[in-house]
Amino acid sequence: MVFEDKMIMNGEPEEEEEEEEEEDMVDPLETLREKCEQTEHCVHAREQLEACESRVGSRSETTEDCTEELFDFLHARDHCCKERSSKEASTEYSRPVCTDKMKADLPVSLLKDLLPHLNIYYLDRIETAASTKGISTSVIWATIWRDLDQTWRWRAKSALPNQDWKQRSLERLFHMVMFTQVRRGGSYLSNLSDSSILSMTVKHVRVLSLHTSTKNICRLASGDLRPILSTLEKGVTSLRLLDAKALFKHGRKYVLFILHRLLDHGSVREVVLRRNPDSSFLSWLMSRRRGPQGGLSVSTAPETSHADGHCSVVDNGELEEPAAKRLALDVEENPEVLCSEFSSFSSSAEHCPEGQIHSLDFEVSKCEILTTVSHILPTWLCLRTLHLHSDYISISHICGHTHLISVLRACPTLLSLSLEICPPADRNTWRQQPHFTENKVLCLEKLSVKSTGPMTVKCFLPALTWAPKLNSLHMTGIHLSRQFFHTLAGSNPLLKVLKLEDINLADYHQEILHFLEYSVLEELSLKDCRLLDKCTVKKDFLVPFVEALKGISSLQSLMLAQNRLATSAIEIANLFSGCHPSKITKLDLSSNFILPAELLEFAQLLETFRPVQRLTLDLRFNPLDRDPEVKGQALRKLISYCNILTDDWDSRSTMADHVSVM
């Protein structure tokens, strides 16, 4: 058996056994290989392999094993063999001469049996051959993901599409090998060293998460792992720092260098900070992301401190912190100094580039952080999305002359704002909203607000009025007022996505109908909104509601989960009736206590109306197991017009949970 044949079965190259051959016999396969090894591609690959072996030989201790270089050389030679063999090899030597051809020649049944036993390197290489035979490797990658992520059962409802399993699996493997430990029980890691795993998986890392293991993180700045860091610079688009304070306790200079390479020289566009980052780190993070100073004139009115003790934005004269308090970058932490110190990254350029962070997501632990952010955001010209969340933020930080309002007024590029807030215990701390001047409007296109306690929408109505370009609004746990829907209709004509969750809409039927009359919505989600709780006759609202939805020609998605529709779900089928049926393609009726008989009636109406476009229908978490035969009849009727999302609901074991949700 030749060298490559052994690699396929064992995962690691083995030395070829010397065989006694007659002197007058010439193996055409060896001749073909010798010719291929003289090609430019193979010569270059061999030089890389020899250079790697030279490095390894010159070091007493190293984790480098030249596996990747060896694989590259063999692949280059095998590819050449594959091309030339079709022209030069005789029928006497028609057996496969390279690994890729061997894989393509395997029977489908054998290929299917082989896949679960391959390590990730060969699973990756065999994908193309398997695909040509109609075999998908996504199931194998999904199995690997479940073995790596023990919490996958809790996230099954939000499962990733098939094409993402491989990327997520290899990304998770990289983090485990690089920063923690990985169990070696599965065949997918057999005969692979840590360096081989890192070399393969690093190309699939899109989200890099840095935890508190400073020692392992600092390894990325070492010479041995410098190629890994270079690859991360090219591929990582999102950076998550889970405990910035702990990261800087040891090896601060190394961590800053790594962050500088990823943020300024790399492709990172999103930064997520968790566990309460302090002001000094935020200042360092934002110091090189301010954009051209003078390219934009930002005017903010002076703000005064409040008697209730809440911090407020200081006036223009104080935007530059006093020298004693301002965080000045130490000379050794200057990006240019860091790059020159780590010599292999040094450049002839006088200055390092400045990163372009478009999205910032962080927790707020104290007022000083908001102060730091509010000072710098007005000149952070590339920022598009800001997410703030913590129990620390309360109504008083949004209402009145405080940080967030001033940030919204001053930051010209902020298009998306997401808030997770906690209402104040003392309602007397609520303050009146400030008034913008006539020429002041917000650039916001997307606003998301989630409250962890009772809170009124009154504090956000002015913000809606000031955001004429708003096209997406998501609110959770807010107490609405009658003015809310009137404000949307009058001030947000471009609104395309409206998501309301855990909000009681039982008293706002007329306001909803009025809003829908002038709407250009593409997506409407009313989840757990108690729509019919106060209806004596439920049709009195559902009939005009359905007619109003049919009048929105742009509507593509309707989600009515957890609204206790039950028998009333039948009325929703009328969306597709008449001369002008709805064109929606996604309908969510999950968790509505729909019984099999009601689903059958719904299916019969749908069969009569025949929707214009195929519908994705979500029926999960409904007690359809009450009558399996009727359920089967309904599903058979629906399947002609719908892609159905359902589950194996068991009323005996899940009814208690269902009742608690209802």
Q: What is the pLDDT of residues 48-66, one digit of tens each?
A: 888 887 777 777 666 666 6
For residues 414 and 445, the answer to whether their CB atoms sit within 8 Å is no
Helix axes 628-638, 596-609, angle to 10 degrees: 20
Most confident listed range (19-23, 146-150, 213-217)? 146-150
- Three-point CA angle 228, 232, 233, nearest 5°: 120
What is the rounded average pLDDT of the residues 331-351? 63
Q: What is the pLDDT of residue 581?
A: 94
pLDDT at 550 over 90: yes
Instruction: Please check the confidence at residue 270 and state whether its pLDDT lies above 80.
Output: yes
What pLDDT score was predicted for residue 180? 81
Cα–Cα distance, 169 to 306 (Å, whole number)? 51
Judge whether 185 lies within some domain: no
Per-residue confidence (pLDDT) for residue 292, from 0 to 100: 45
Q: How far apart are CA 569 and CA 582, in angstroms?
A: 16
User: CB count, 10 Å around CB of 169?
Assistant: 25
94-107 pLDDT per residue, tens: 333 345 555 566 78
Among 105, 139, 156, the domain-final residue is 105
| pLDDT band of 10, cuts 50, 70, 90 | very low
Examine the pLDDT at 482 and tell me if it is beyond 70: yes
Contact between residue 592 and residue 563 where contact means Cβ atoms under 8 Å apart: yes
**Considering only 187-196, 321-330, 334-343, which range has the smallest mean pLDDT?**
321-330
> What CA–CA distance (Å, rounded) separates 97 from 86?
10
466 pLDDT above the threshold of 50 = yes
Token readout for 95 is 């057996």
Top mean pLDDT of 79-83, 313-317, 622-626 is at 622-626
Could you give the CA distance from residue 600 to residue 583 in angstroms, rounded to a whole number? 22
Q: How does pLDDT run across 105-135, given as a tens digit for each residue? A: 678 888 888 888 888 998 988 888 888 888 8
pLDDT of residue 347: 52
User: Which tokens hold the place of 42?
Assistant: 């193979």
Q: At 80, which CATH number?
A: 1.10.287.20
Provide the pLDDT confidence category of residue 213 given band limits of 50, 70 and 90. low
Domain termination residue (choose one: 105, 139, 174): 105
pLDDT digits (tens, 9 = 90+) for 273-295: 877 666 677 777 777 665 544 33
Q: How many distinct structural domains can be found in the chain?
A: 2
Is 379 part of a structural domain of the chain?
A: no
Rounded to 5°, angle at Cα 488 from 484 and 490: 115
Short-list 198, 196, 359, 195, CA closest to 273: 359
**pLDDT for res 273:** 84
Closest of 224, 216, 220 to residue 250, by C-alpha: 216
CA distance 589 to 644: 11
Per DSSP, the chain holds a count of helices (H) and strands (E) of 26, 14
Range of the domain at 617: 556-662
How much of the chain exceeds pLDDT 90, in percent? Answer: 30
User: Mean pLDDT lowest for which of 98-112, 219-233, 536-550, 589-603?
Assistant: 98-112
- Determine the Cα–Cα distance for residues 656 and 7; give it in Å rounded to an integer: 55
Q: Quick one: tokens of 447?
A: 């606003």
Quickly state the pLDDT bin for 373 (edges 50, 70, 90). low
Q: Which two structure tokens, joined as six digits, stand for 573?
A: 């089928």
Is residue 172, in this structure, part of any structural domain at all? no
86 token code pair: 């079709």
Last residue of a domain, one of 105, 138, 164: 105
User: Could you tell me what percent of the chain has a pLDDT over 70?
Assistant: 66
DSSP states along 402-433: SHHHHHHHH-SS--EEEEEE---S-GGG--PP
pLDDT of residue 301: 36
Q: Which residue has the higher pLDDT, 486 or 25?
A: 486
Whether 472 and 500 have beta carbons less than 8 Å apart is answered as no
Say what angle helices 194-201 and 120-132 make with each other, to 10 degrees.
40
What is the DSSP track for 23-78? TT---HHHHHHHHHTTSHHHHHHHHHHHHHHHHHHH-SS-----HHHHHHHHHHHH
pTM of the model: 0.63
From the number of C-beta atoms within 10 Å of its C-beta (0-12, 13-18, 19+), residue 648 rates as exposed
Distances (CA, A) of 398 to 377, 394, 465: 16, 7, 15
Indicate the length of the chain as a whole number.
662
Per-residue model confidence (pLDDT) at position 15: 42
> Could you give the CA distance from residue 371 to residue 161 in angstroms, rounded to a whole number?
41
Whether pLDDT at 139 is above 90: no
Reply yes or no on whether the pLDDT at 392 is more than 60: no
**Do the domain assignments include residue 437?**
no
Assess contact for 473 and 495: CB atoms under 8 A: yes
157 pLDDT above the threshold of 70: no
Q: Which pLDDT score, from 0 to 100, does residue 598 have?
A: 96
pLDDT score recorded for residue 651:
73
40-49, 86-95, 414-423: which is most confident: 40-49
In a domain, 640, yes or no: yes
Q: Report residue 415's pLDDT band, with 50, 70 and 90 as the boundaries.
A: confident
Q: Which residue would you say has higher pLDDT here, 319 or 611?
A: 611
Decide if 33 is inside a domain.
Answer: yes
Distance between alpha carbon 440 and the CA centroid of its chain, in Å?
Answer: 33
Q: What is the mean pLDDT of the chain?
A: 75
- Which residue from 344, 331, 337 is spatially nearest to 222, judged by alpha carbons? 344
Cα gap 421→424, rounded to integer Å: 9
Which range has the top average pLDDT, 272-281, 300-309, 358-367, 566-575?
Answer: 566-575
Strands 385-389 and 416-421, bridge-based pairing: parallel
- Considering the domain boundaries, does residue 96 fall inside one? yes
Q: Is-contact 353 311, C-beta < 8 A?
A: no
